[in-house]
Structure 1
Amino acid sequence: MTLKADVYWSFRSPYSYLATRRYVELTTKYDLQINQRFVYPLAIREPDFFEKNHPNWLGYVFKDIFRVAQYMNIPLAPPNPDPIVQDIATRKIADEQPYIFELTRMGQAASRRGRGLEFANEVSQLIWGGTAGWHEGDYLERAAGRAGLDLAELKAEAVSQADDLDAEIADNQKALEAAGHWGVPTLVFDGEPFFGQDRIDLAVWRMEQKGLSRH
């Protein structure tokens, strides 16, 4: 019996990136279907989040993500450009955001086609894996192709159905909160949330209790 889980995920979250390869691996190793549910990052949902946080928070996150990446042998570099335009010194989020809305809408369009996880996996490797100018040239087009998708089709849908896609993205956030969490990445299985890239083994343990089987 194929088990199903939802993964709540953001393009701006380095921890989402660090978890994604393992989510993909789970679907290849086990009889498991993952429904990728994209949400907008905190910078969009709560623009003053970074300014209100403890001064040590951002510095610690940077130290930790590089430590985790080194431990897991995953390439990691500061995104260039950042999917969220932000003044790191002041932590202020810019009013104009040229990347995150199209990216997230395209991700949700990919999820409509059952390829959201694959799209997230390929594109996040560009953004967080050290590809400078990931938004230029044919980087995204080739990433979408590797995910079995047509970038032009996703882009067109992100424009023509922006409101509908935003409504789906908002519903994803509501569903995440209804499951008992608010952050990403969170895997939700059988109504139980597993937040963070360091809770994947625990999620697998729970799924095995419910009959998770290998391919």
Structure 2
Amino acid sequence: MSLPIVDFFYDIVSPYSYVAAKRIHELDGLATVRWRPCLLGGVFKATGNTGPAFTVPAKMPYMFKDLSRLAAYYGFPLTVPKSFPANTVTVQRVLCAADEAQVPALSMKLYDIYWGQGLDVSDPVTLTGLVGEALMAKASSDEVKARLRENTEAVVGAGGFGAPTFLLDGELYFGEDRLFLLIDRLKKA
């Protein structure tokens, strides 16, 4: 019997998507996770949303404190990048250009560099050094640009308004803090 498919929509710039990616192993044995890089800025534009830390000034310091608590709780490093928020269009295109089987490991590598070490993965020289020239060249193709648009439109079309967003059988779960509900549903299925 095959496992249900959970679509995981994320952007490397999203710190809560980093937390979700670090926790995604909690779905092992319950679902097949399909990593779907999207452009968070495109999702925000399409839905009229903004990042949580930009709507109310007091949220930014709280968000970083909250993220530090989550990282300590789950036991992984967190270093807020000086380049936050970075323009991740090219980063997300690189992820869309990679072979599907490589996307999870490559995403984790980029998350660990950006959120774990605080380095700017959106810098073209840094990104090229991390992924290689061939993948960078492929990322600028019309096919890859279309794939990123399709993923972004898919999350918006499903009712998504930010990242991370999980989709199971058309039902949306928003935020890493809702993984427990998704897990509960999968266990009961």
On the 8 A contact 1:35/1:114 being kept in 2, the answer is: no
1:144-200 superposed Cα distances (whole Å, 9 cap, x missing partner): 5xxxxxx333212012x1x33232222212221222221111111111111111111
Deviation (angstroms), 1:140: 6.7
Listed as ranges, the gaps of 5+ residues in structure 1 are: 85-96, 145-150, 211-215
Q: 1:155 to 1:136 in 2, by over 3 A?
A: closer
Bigger shift: residues 114-123 or 41-50: 41-50
Tell me the distance in 1 between the aligned counterparts of 2:162 and 2:37.
11
Question: 1:105 aligns to what?
Answer: 93
Deviation per CA, 1:32-80: give whole Å up to 9, x if none.
3211111112389549946971222222212211121122121000124
CA contact (8 A) 2:165 2:173 kept: yes
Say if 1:71 and 1:5 are closer, same or farther in 2 by CA, change over 3 A.
Answer: same
The 3 A distance-change label for structure 1 pair 131 and 59 is closer
Q: Secondary structure at the match of 1:105?
A: helix
Distance across 2 between alignment mates of 1:154 and 1:127: 19
1:13 and 2:1 are equivalent in the alignment? no
Instruction: Give the 5 Å matches for 1:1-215.
Output: 1-23=2-24, 25-26=25-26, 29-30=28-29, 32-42=31-41, 45-46=44-45, 49=50, 53-82=55-84, 84=86, 97=87, 100-110=88-98, 112-130=99-117, 132=119, 151-159=132-140, 161=141, 163-210=142-189
Structure 1 CA distance for aligned equivalents of residues 181 and 129 of structure 2: 35
Moved more, 56-65 or 6-15: 56-65
Q: 1:80 to 1:58 in 2, by over 3 A?
A: closer
Q: CA separation of 1:83/1:49 partners in 2, compared to 1, >3 Å: closer, same or farther?
A: closer
Q: Which runs of 5+ in 2 are unaligned?
A: none
Count of aligned residue pairs for this structure pair:
184
Check the 8 A contact 2:8/2:167 in 1, yes or no.
Answer: yes
Report if aligned partners of 1:181, 1:195 keep a CA contact under 8 Å in 2: yes
Rate the CA distance shift 1:31–1:59 in 2: closer, same or farther, 3 A: closer
- Which one has the largest radius of gyration? 1
Q: Distance in 1 between matches of 2:139 and 2:20?
A: 25
RMSD, matched Cα:
2.9
